[in-house]
Amino acid sequence: EDKVVQSPLSLVVHEGDTVTLNCSYEVTNFRSLLWYKQEKKAPTFLFMLTSSGIEKKSGRLSSILDKKELFSILNITATQTGDSAIYLCAVDYGGTASKLTFGTGTRLQVTL
């Protein structure tokens, strides 16, 4: 059965800390891995990763994929209270149609 596992389940850090969120997966027909940020409402897209070893960056956020070891990490440097959210990892495993399998997410809380 295809599955995506995220760790830790939740995390509390102080503003300014650096955090690393983990996502491991076991899927057939892997096509891409995506990260989303979910605050109280709609998940918003952060990154899509298709190739190993190529870091994607957006401001203080960065992510990398390891297709050999089947995992990805999401780094957030100099965290701010606005980074508090649930971070979702999802894998597009193709097949006959595009669809994503999501992990349960990592709940990040950044405190002052």
Give me the residues that bind another protein (CB under 8 A), please.
4, 31-32, 34, 36, 41-45, 48, 88, 90, 92, 94-105
Could you give the C-alpha distances from 73 to 23, 78, 87, in angstroms and in order? 6, 16, 11
Asked if residues 76 and 83 have their Cβ atoms less than 8 Å apart, the reply is yes
Q: Which is nearer to another protein, 43 or 63 (CB)?
A: 43
What is the nearest approach in angstroms of another protein to the Cβ of residue 43?
5
Q: Which is nearer to another protein, 41 or 68 (CB)?
A: 41
List, in order, residues 6 or more apart from 81 with CB less than 8 Å away. 15, 110, 111, 112
Q: Which is nearer to another protein, 77 or 98 (CB)?
A: 98
